[in-house]
């Protein structure tokens, strides 16, 4: 029986039939790396391997396929930082519908170009996603086109819920399912599917700490937008859920946890190095929550990897940050005398310690640099924090004053 306002299992099953031949049935694999870290079996649902690189094609196609022909003829509009944009663009192309997608001016270039390749007209507008949404809604009203919300519609939720059906079909035993949350459409659909069949399964949602409106919404019992959103996880950088998704979360989700950008960055690095998977920060939110080990995750755990559309430049920065936080990459500055052989001596000490030098900057002028001194900044690869401490002790014993960068 369907509770008023909530998407039913029958609607999700219907969406699954519509998506046959459109959405990929993505792998559900056991992760040895996460299982070891969590001391129990952990499986990953790889929606980063879905068409367009995220789960969004599921909800987008289910929504667009149900539009009346008269609406399809006028076209659709959407607003997105990237993943929903690509999902709508591909779904519209497959159905022969004209689509226009409004994206923030600072949206990832690869996501902008991918959206265009999938057939949408892209309009860059505003600094924040909220600005793009406002312009898209104005265009929809002005031109009579259908606005396709990334999460606030039953058909979107039902489409995303097909992931839950695939999880249920793949595993006989499930303790916890961990799902990233932005506006809430994904966890609403997955939660509705899972809980309708196996109500004892624990549903855990994960929000970026810089965009974590849902805990407060649940506490107050109403939608309360976050005043400010700031996170590297642009895929879940949403100010608030809708009334519809909040009701689903209240009904189907057992716990909502938050992860900071540091944890998200470490999770992206962990996935690349240990799991051999490329994830965007929002797609790695469940991994970050599991690695925090601060919450109740009843095994077996299923972690939904929601997307892998990451800008290569951001990936480079995150990898460097993650390596630094783990003590695998270290940067420091010191001063040496401006004489032949001084730099050679410093570099030799680094080499003798077993560290690998990857970058050097050499400055003769600067604040506080004396006439016969040179300031040197070194970037090195190390074997962990104890190795860094050992190197710092060696340099201090040799008379170098070191500043960590």
Of 31, 149, 196, 306, the active-site residue reads 306
CA torsion, ordered 87, 88, 89, 90, to nearest 10 deg: 50
Question: What residues contact residue 6 under an 8 Å CB cut-off, 6+ apart?
Answer: 192, 247, 248, 251
Of 56, 111, 195, 239, the active-site residue reads 56
Q: What separation in angstroms does the CA of 202 have from each of 131, 133, 274?
A: 36, 33, 26
Is the bond into 111 cis (omega within 30 degrees of 0)? no
Q: What separation in angstroms does the CA of 78 have from each of 74, 107, 145, 151, 251?
A: 14, 14, 10, 11, 28
Q: Is 306 a catalytic residue?
A: yes
Active-site positions read 56, 306
């Amino acid at each position: 029986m369907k509770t008023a306002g909530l998407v039913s299992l029958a609607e999700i099953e219907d969406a699954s039939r519509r998506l046959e031949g459109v959405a990929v049935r993505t792998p559900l694999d056991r992760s040895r790396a996460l299982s070891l870290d969590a001391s129990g079996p952990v499986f990953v649902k790889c929606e980063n391997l879905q068409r367009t690189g995220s789960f969004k094609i599921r909800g987008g196609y289910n929504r667009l396929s149900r539009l009346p022909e008269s609406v399809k003829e006028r076209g659709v509009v959407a607003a997105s930082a990237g993943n929903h944009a690509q999902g709508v663009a591909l779904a519209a192309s497959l159905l022969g519908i004209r689509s226009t997608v409004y994206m923030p001016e600072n949206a990832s270039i690869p996501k902008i170009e991918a959206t265009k390749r999938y057939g949408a007209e892209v309009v860059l507008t505003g600094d924040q996603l909220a600005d793009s949404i406002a312009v898209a809604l104005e265009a929809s009203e002005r031109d009579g086109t259908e606005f396709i919300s990334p999460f606030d519609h039953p058909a979107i939720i039902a489409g995303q819920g097909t992931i839950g059906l695939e999880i249920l079909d793949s595993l006989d035993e499930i303790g916890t399912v961990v799902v990233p949350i932005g506006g809430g459409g994904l966890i609403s659909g997955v939660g509705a599917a899972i809980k309708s069949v196996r109500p004892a399964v624990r549903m855990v949602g994960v929000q970026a700490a810089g965009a974590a409106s849902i805990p407060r919404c649940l506490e107050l019992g109403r939608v309360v937008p976050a005043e400010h959103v700031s996170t590297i996880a642009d895929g879940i950088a949403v100010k608030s859920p809708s009334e519809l998704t909040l009701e689903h979360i209240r009904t189907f989700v057992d716990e909502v946890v938050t992860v900071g950008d540091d944890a998200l960055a470490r999770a992206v690095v962990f996935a690349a190095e240990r799991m051999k998977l490329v994830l965007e920060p929002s797609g790695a939110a469940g991994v970050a929550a599991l690695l925090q080990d601060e919450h109740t995750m009843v095994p077996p755990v299923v972690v939904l990897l929601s997307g892998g559309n990451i800008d290569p430049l951001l990936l480079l920065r995150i990898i460097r940050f993650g390596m630094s936080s783990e003590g695998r990459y270290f940067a420091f500055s010191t001063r040496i005398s401006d004489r032949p052989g001084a730099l050679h001596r410093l570099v030799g000490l680094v080499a003798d310690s077993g560290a690998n030098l990857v970058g050097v900057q050499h400055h003769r002028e600067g604040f506080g640099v004396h006439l016969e001194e040179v300031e040197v900044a070194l970037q090195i690869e190390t074997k962990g924090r104890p190795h860094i401490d050992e190197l710092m002790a060696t340099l201090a014993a040799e008379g170098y004053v070191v500043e960590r960068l």
